[in-house]
Structure 1
Amino acid sequence: MPFKRYVEIGRVALINYGPECGQLVVITDVIDQNRALVDFPDQERRVVNFKRLALTDYKVDIKRHAPKKDLKKALADADVVAKFQASSWGQKLAKQSAKADMTDFDRYKAAVAKAKKARAVRKVFNSLKKSAK
């Protein structure tokens, strides 16, 4: 099966390790076989190792070393951030961050709701099992 995601100028990637973990970036230049120059409108341009990047399916049309205003315009035209957040990958990350931000009381409420749902399912299941005999 051939690759669909290539390291290229304009490829949107997700940082998967370090203090910037979970941030979307755009590859603006490839430095060597291990590192890329990445940028995003609200972030500082910096060098990131490829091992810390997870390539997404999204690509914006920019030139090499594009200025911030061109990058911002290309991202707005392609609507990359909204597309990523609507994808299953983005939704999974949102669920993980929401779960990490839960308080003790939120976890308690979730456990009570889960137990209540399990009781209701078990009750219906047992009644169906009893009627099938």
Structure 2
Amino acid sequence: MSDSNFKRFVEVGRVVLLNKGPSNGKIAVISEIIDHTRAIVDGPTTDVPRQSFPYKHLTLTPIVVAGLPRGAGSGVIKKFVEKEGTVEKWEKSAWAQKRLALEKRRKLDDFGRFKVLLAKKQRRDVVRKSLHKAKKA
């Protein structure tokens, strides 16, 4: 069989990012596949209740909880997730870091945006001066 270009598949144990509803932005684990449009997701460690969720409102992450049985309950999922440190893996990922930074940026008030502007100016000045020094040398 030829190698596929796809690396992330809908499977039991796949960690997903929820894009809609009250759990927007949280991660959960696929515990059961209902049909070709929906799956049951559960996030006992991230406060996501066990529920049916359509695939179009999920984003598949590269993280998989290995060995999770089909249709596992919240308690079993919680044990597997804690044993593998899945939430910590997610929080350390570049994807989660970027989302967190973007969220921080969105919550800034006018004065916060002004401070960011000044910090960027200072950084740009330092870089410009060091490049100028390097060109002279």
Superposition TM-score, scaled by structure 1 size: 0.87
Counterpart CA distance in 2 for 1:110 and 1:103 is 11
Deviation at 1:73, TM superposition (A): 0.5
User: 1:37 — aligned with what?
Assistant: 40
Aligned residues: 131
**What SS class does the counterpart of residue 112 from structure 1 fall into?**
helix
Q: Would the aligned equivalents of 2:50 and 2:74 in 1 still touch at CA under 8 Å?
A: no
State whether structure 2 residue 88 is matched by structure 1 residue 85: no
Q: Would the aligned equivalents of 2:26 and 2:48 in 1 still touch at CA under 8 Å?
A: no
User: 2:106 — aligned with what?
Assistant: 100
Instruction: Name stretches of at least 5 consecutive residues in structure 2 with no aligned partner.
Output: none
Counterpart CA distance in 2 for 1:128 and 1:69 is 59
Deviation at 1:128, TM superposition (A): 4.2
Over the matched positions of the two proteins, sequence identity in percent amounts to 38
User: 2:17 — aligned with what?
Assistant: 14
Instruction: Name stretches of at least 5 consecutive residues in structure 1 with no aligned partner.
Output: none
Q: Deviations over 1:62-105 (max 9, x none)?
A: 22221211111000011111111111111111111111222222
Counterpart CA distance in 1 for 2:33 and 2:129 is 59
Partner of residue 26 from structure 1, selected from 29, 44, 57 = 29
Counterpart CA distance in 2 for 1:10 and 1:127 is 54
Larger deviation: 60-69 or 85-94? Answer: 60-69
Give the alignment's Cα RMSD to 1 decimal. Answer: 1.7
Partner of residue 114 from structure 1, selected from 107, 114, 120 = 120
Counterpart CA distance in 1 for 2:42 and 2:32 is 9
Q: Would the aligned equivalents of 2:23 and 2:48 in 1 still touch at CA under 8 Å?
A: no
User: 2:81 — aligned with what?
Assistant: 75
Deviation at 1:14, TM superposition (A): 0.7
Superposition TM-score, scaled by structure 2 size: 0.85
